[in-house]
């Protein structure tokens, strides 16, 4: 059971990392793109745009504010 726990811990750290919001946003973006593509739409652009926006917000949130 220890190996399975280590394997799960590795994937949790790899996917979630420091910010769970980025991982959740990426999953939502991919799901939304998949739904649009399933409905015969052009959903290829959704994931890159949403993930770029998420990364931008993450950088803004991590930047220290000046007094």
State the pLDDT at residue 19. Answer: 83
When pLDDT is averaged across residues 50-56 and rounded to a whole number, the result is 93
- pLDDT tens by residue, 6-39: 999 998 888 888 788 888 999 999 999 999 999 9
State the pLDDT at residue 63. Answer: 85
pLDDT exceeds 90 at position 61: no
pLDDT exceeds 80 at position 3: yes
Alpha-carbon separation of residue 20 from 8, 41, 52, 54 (angstroms): 16, 29, 16, 11
Q: DSSP secondary-structure letter at 9?
A: H
pTM for the full predicted model: 0.74
């Amino acid at each position: 059971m220890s190996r399975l726990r280590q394997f799960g811990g590795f994937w949790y750290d790899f996917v979630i990392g420091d910010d769970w919001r980025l991982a959740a946003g990426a999953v939502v973006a991919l799901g939304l793109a998949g739904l649009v593509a399933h409905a015969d739409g052009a959903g290829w652009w959704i994931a890159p745009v949403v993930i770029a926006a998420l990364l931008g917000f993450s950088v803004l949130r991590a930047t220290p504010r000046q007094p």
